[in-house]
Structure formats: C-alpha cells, structure tokens
Copies of this chain bind each other. A is one copy, B any other.
Amino acid sequence: MKSRWFTPLLIALTLASIAVHFWSTNEPLRFTLASISLLLWAALLGKATESVAHYAGERLGGFLNATFGNAAELIIAIFLVQKGLFDMVKASITGSIIGNLLLVLGLSIFAGGLKFKTQSFNTLLAGHNASLMLLAVIALFSPAAFDTQLDPSEMETFSLIIAGLLIASYLLWLIFSMITHKKELGEEPAVEVPTSDISQTSVAHEEKPEWTKNRSILLLFIAAVFVAIQSEWIVGSVEAVAHTLGWSELFVGAFLIAIIGNAAEHSAAIFLAMRNRIGAAVEIAVGSSLQIALFVAPALVFISLLFGKTMNLTFTAIEIAAIAIAAFIATSISRDGSTNWFEGVLLLIVYAILGTGFYLV
C-alpha cells in the first residue's frame, strides 16, 4: 500500500464497478471489474488486519476480521431465512465452515509453510479451538441423531434450546478468551524458522505500522464492507454461470459461494501466514468457523422465529459428515500448535475429496 497509485486505483475501480453493476447488463464486464476491485479491497483488508493485530494482538485482529467477514454472510442468510429457503441456508453454513477449516486454513498453512519450515502458535488456544469445534459437531449431530424419535414441534423446541446453549457458550468463550484467560491464550513468542532451501526473507515483526490504531480498525471495517458487497455481486454472476453449466444447488451453495463469500478471511489469513503470523491466520480461519457454527447458525434459528416459521438444526447426513470430517482433520493437524507445508496439503486434499463428492451428487 506504500505505492502512490494504490488508493486512486482502488477508488477508480470501485466506482467503475459500481457504475457497471447498476447501469450495465454486460455480465463479463461486471464480473471482471468486480473481481479486480475485490482483489484490491481484499489486499487492503489483509494489510488492515495485520495493522490491527500489531496494536491489539493477533487474536483480536483475527476476531475482528472474522466478525466483519461473517456479518456479511449473516445478512445474506437472513434474506434466505425470510424466504424460507432453509436448505440453502444450511448448505451455505456447511460450506462456510468447511471452507474456512479446510481451504482458508489449508492455503494459509501451505503458503506459510513454503516460506517458513515450521510455524507455531499457542497450543492452549489450539486445544480450546478443538474442543469448541467438537461442541459444534455434537450440537449439529444431536438433532439428526434424535430426528426419527421427535415430531416436528419437539424438534423445534430441541433446536431452539441447542441454539440458546450454543450462543451462551460462544459468549462465555469470548469472556474466557478475551477477559479471564486473555494472557494464557495470547501469542507465543514468535520463533521464526525460515526454511533454508526456499526463502530466507524473514519479516521483522517490529516494522512500524503505517496507520494508527483507530485508522487501522476503520480501514478494516470499510474494507470488509466493500469485500462483502463485491463478493456478493460476484456470487450473483457465478451462480448464473453455474446454473447454466448444470451444477447442483448443493455444490454451488457449499463450495462456490462459500469460496467467494469468504474472500475476506482468505486474503487476510494467507497474507498473515506468509508474514509468519500463523497464529492470526488460525484465529481468522478457525475463529470464523466457530463463529458461524456457534453464533451465526443458532442466531438464524432465533431470527427465523421472527418470520413465523422456525428453522430447525437438522442438517443432512452428508452435511454433518462433511463438517465432522473438516473439524477432525483440522484438529488433528493443529492440535500441537505447530504447522508446516505438508499439513496444509492434507487439508486441501480433504477439501478436494469433499468438493468432488458434493460436485458429483
């Protein structure tokens, strides 16, 4: 962002993208402009997240990034809930969770691992992330396990109670991790172990940030908003293309939309991992998944109440299997608090297997 041309270019492209979005029907032009503009905003978002992390710590930086990113997804999901499209909501929740745990985390760990032989982060945090992911899997599995024995109204009650318990545990988690045990879950002293054979450039963490703390948070917020808007526009185009090609709803919802919809998490996490701030990258990827599973999904259950038709929490067997698989492999590679390129590959391979399955269905 040091270059003089960045800000003017960003503004020009954004305006152009807005113009064609509202006054043109030239689909390829709209898609291209939105994509390039998205890339620039995503770069700014990554930079802003790093800057916030510098002032407020990796965990808060990652948390804000994930929250701003998920706010957009929550808004989109509310529209779907209003229309009663519960299956699509659940598919996109599934896609978002596995996209963050496998694709975002996998790419971050892989990219970071190409530059640094071993990257490490707080093991206590890794352990708690694992337990919270397991809670999410249990909470989404339980309604399905009891499904045949409960009638619809009992299932509604069950879903509402689970949703309440999940939100309670997420709020308590924030109190635990941001207040009572903030220090214990903080970043480890960053030990930089550059890979001898690939690249020696070790980035100095002490680098003075360009922006003040408040400015960083503001830029993080603005960038997240534009990333959300423009990824939403791209989703529209992609959806049209996908349906022309005859791809299934499930694949489009759980993979294509999730990939573009999580652009904010993608760019920032990879950006940070390549600067050896793997702790922040994990916080974004895993933290975002947890927020979706423990806060966004249950919140949607309560929001559906307002529209008069309760969305329950019974996911399909394949969705639950995919979420459980993603949670288990992500836990298995991250539990020791250290990562390397091969562990990134493992996550990406699992993502490819699930993606193939969802594509073929």
Residues of A bordering B, CB below 8 Å: 117-118, 123-124, 127-128, 130-132, 134-135, 138-139, 141-142, 145-146, 149-150, 154, 157-158, 161-162, 165-166, 168-169, 172-173, 176, 180-181, 184, 195, 197, 317-318, 321, 325, 328-329, 332-333, 335-336, 338, 340-343, 345-346, 349-350, 352-354, 356-357, 360-361
Contacts and interface: CB of A to CB of B under 8 A. Distances in A.
A357 B142 contact: yes
A124 B354 CA distance: 27
A240 B353 CA distance: 40
A283 B117 CA distance: 23
A317 B165 contact: no
Contact of A176 (B130, B142, B332, B341): B341
24 contacts: A117-B184, A131-B329, A131-B332, A131-B343, A134-B332, A135-B346, A138-B350, A138-B353, A141-B321, A142-B325, A145-B318, A145-B321, A145-B357, A149-B361, A158-B357, A162-B353, A162-B356, A165-B353, A169-B346, A172-B345, A176-B342, A180-B195, A180-B342, A181-B340
Among A138, A149, A345, A354, find the residue whose CB has the most chain B CB atoms closer than 10 A: A138
B165 A352 contact: yes
Contacts of A181: 117, 340, 342
Number of copies: 3
Contacts of A142: 325, 353-354, 357
A218 to B, nearest CB: 32
B353 A180 contact: no
A180 B333 contact: no
A356 B317 contact: no
A328 B327 CA distance: 13
A317 B329 CA distance: 21
Contacts of A195: 180
Given A128-B343, A180-B341, 20 more contacts: A117-B180, A117-B184, A118-B184, A127-B333, A127-B336, A131-B346, A134-B332, A135-B346, A135-B350, A138-B350, A139-B353, A142-B325, A145-B321, A145-B357, A146-B361, A149-B318, A149-B361, A165-B349, A172-B342, A172-B345
B134 A349 contact: no
B146 A357 contact: yes
B360 A158 contact: yes
Contacts of A172: 342, 345
Nearest to A118: B184
Contacts of A341: 176, 180
A173 B342 contact: yes
Nearest to A352: B165
A135 B349 contact: yes
A138 B117 CA distance: 27
Nearest to A176: B342
